[in-house]
Amino acid sequence: MNYILLDLEWNQAYAEQAMAVQKRLGTRLRGEVIQIGAVKMDEDKQICGSFSVIIKPKFFRRIHRHVMQLTGITQDMIDMGIPLEEANARFRRWCGDNAVFLTWGPDDVPMLTDNLRANGLDTGWVPPVYDLQVIYNMQTDGSSRQRSLEYVMEQFEIEQRLPAHDALNDAYFTALVAARLDIKKGIAMYSDRRGQYLDAVEFGNADVGEKGFSSPEQVLKDDLVEKPECPLCHKRLEFVGKMLHAKGQRYSQLCKCGEHGSLMMNVRLARNINGTFRAKRTIVEADADMIATHQEKISRAQTEKSAKRRRRRYTRPATAKQA
Ligand SMILES: [Zn+2]
């Protein structure tokens, strides 16, 4: 089996364009892939190949200035890129049949499959994906923080000799980090504990020009949270039980798809620079353990809530009605 370290760069839409494309596709496209970068590693974590291609976008044809600043990819470069259809065929051939994807963070593969779908291309070939950020956390401090690749490279004293935010370079850096981790064990633990990301979406990110949310309540009222769809069949998910509100503005909701069974939707809020809120929503397959832990937390939260209510009743006497 080969490990494919995958990194994508994608173009984002200017607001008017995003709406027009959403109408045309009937679904929201969060970005359009303009570069696929990948490095192949064998089971002994030896690098044995690399892949890079620039793709000509079909929906968001004008390069967004933030994207250009960050990646150095120019309008000319994407104008000369190849169509996604061709890039996908080449990439798929290069990956081969016996591979898994390793990415830094949960965003890349959902972006890839969304793009394939928007272009009417098959997503069935996309191999299982494991988030190295999660494996890194499990094998270091056990936290659930989202460490940047730069941070982790520094921790491992890996020198950054190439410019960052080029998909191939980032895939290569990710490979250097992966080489320091126990991938086999990580994958085993990962699938035990976390389930696989079926979908990850960030929205309301005012820092990159989207419209932020005025309050957490507004985020929870967004269709992405209130009316989520199954990432696999796009049918509306049914909610099972209550939503869990955990520390650090995290919310979890157990859901059910008639066809794909139990799924867990996790929503995590963060502040934008301008004070508004953005959110990251992930959907994972929920196994029996995850469901049990979730339900335990919900009943604990309910007990705490009613205990608080009881305490309040005793310490703060109800105002006596004037006779
Ligand atoms: Zn489904």
Q: What is the DSSP string of 99-156?
A: EEEEESSSSHHHHHHHHHHHTT---TTPPPEEEHHHHHHHHTT-------HHHHHHHT
198 alpha carbon to ligand 1 midpoint, in Å? Answer: 11
213 located within any domain: yes
Pick the more confident residue, 163 or 253: 253
261 alpha carbon to ligand 1 midpoint, in Å? Answer: 7
Q: Are residues 255 and 189 in the same domain?
A: no
135 alpha carbon to ligand 1 midpoint, in Å? Answer: 27
- Categorize the per-residue pLDDT at 323 as very low, low, confident or very high, splitting at 50, 70 and 90: very low
How do residues 207-222 score in pLDDT, each as one tens digit? 777 889 999 999 999 9
322 located within any domain: no
The percent of residues in the chain predicted with pLDDT above 70, rounded, is 94
Q: How far apart, in whole angstroms, are the C-alpha atoms of residue 323 and residue 321?
A: 6
Boundary residue ending a domain (160, 193, 226): 193
What average pLDDT does this structure show over 162-168?
86
203 located within any domain: yes
How do residues 39-56 score in pLDDT, each as one tens digit? 999 999 999 999 999 999
- Report the number of distinct structural domains present in the chain: 2
- Radius of gyration (C-alpha) of the chain in whole angstroms: 22
Q: What is the DSSP string of 44-70?
A: T--EEEEEEEEB--SS--SPPHHHHHH
Q: Are residues 39 and 55 in the same domain?
A: yes
Residue 316 pLDDT > 70, yes or no?
Answer: no
Separation in Å, CA 278 to CA 29, 209, 272: 17, 11, 6
Residue 223 pLDDT > 90, yes or no?
Answer: yes
Q: Is the dihedral of CA 286, 289, 292, 295 positive or negative?
A: negative
Q: Are residues 177 and 246 in the same domain?
A: no
318 located within any domain: no
Q: Are residues 151 and 215 in the same domain?
A: no
- Categorize the per-residue pLDDT at 322 as very low, low, confident or very high, splitting at 50, 70 and 90: very low
189 located within any domain: yes
> In this predicted structure, what is the pLDDT of residue 285?
86
262 alpha carbon to ligand 1 midpoint, in Å? Answer: 9
Helix, strand, coil content of the chain in percent (nearest 5): 40, 25, 35
What average pLDDT does this structure show over 229-234?
83
Burial class (CB in 10 A: 0-12, 13-18, 19+), 218: middle
Question: At 82, which amino acid appears?
Answer: I
251 located within any domain: yes
pTM for the model stands at 0.65
197 alpha carbon to ligand 1 midpoint, in Å? Answer: 14
Separation in Å, CA 123 to CA 28, 113, 233: 18, 6, 12
160 located within any domain: yes
Q: Are residues 118 and 215 in the same domain?
A: no
Boundary residue ending a domain (168, 193, 218): 193
Q: What range defines the domain where residue 220 resides? A: 197-310
235 alpha carbon to ligand 1 midpoint, in Å? Answer: 6
- Residue the block writes with tokens 């940047």: 148
Pair type for strands 244-246 and 250-257:
antiparallel
Which residues lie below 8 Å from residue 90, measured CB to CB, with a gap of 6+?
51, 53
Q: Are residues 155 and 282 in the same domain?
A: no
Closest CA to 281 of 222, 209, 232: 222
Q: Are residues 153 and 238 in the same domain?
A: no
> In this predicted structure, what is the pLDDT of residue 138?
85
267 alpha carbon to ligand 1 midpoint, in Å? Answer: 19
Q: Are residues 214 and 270 in the same domain?
A: yes
Boundary residue ending a domain (148, 163, 193): 193
257 alpha carbon to ligand 1 midpoint, in Å? Answer: 5
Listed ranges 10-19, 187-196, 271-280; the one with the highest mean pLDDT: 271-280
Q: Are residues 86 and 102 in the same domain?
A: yes
> In this predicted structure, what is the pLDDT of residue 186?
87
Q: Are residues 85 and 170 in the same domain?
A: yes
Closest CA to 111 of 5, 243, 9: 9
For ligand 1, a single-atom ion, the residues with CB < 5 A are 230, 232-233, 257, 259-260
Which residues lie below 8 Å from residue 268, measured CB to CB, with a gap of 6+?
248, 249, 250, 251, 279, 280, 281
254 alpha carbon to ligand 1 midpoint, in Å? Answer: 14
How do residues 83-109 score in pLDDT, each as one tens digit? 999 999 999 999 998 899 999 988 899
Q: Are residues 188 and 202 in the same domain?
A: no
86 alpha carbon to ligand 1 midpoint, in Å? Answer: 28
Which residues lie below 8 Å from residue 302, measured CB to CB, with a gap of 6+?
none
Q: Which CATH number do you get for residue 176? A: 3.30.420.10
184 located within any domain: yes
The percent of residues in the chain predicted with pLDDT above 90, rounded, is 58
Q: Are residues 146 and 237 in the same domain?
A: no
What average pLDDT does this structure show over 155-170?
88
Q: How far apart, in whole angstroms, are the C-alpha atoms of residue 110 and residue 4?
A: 16
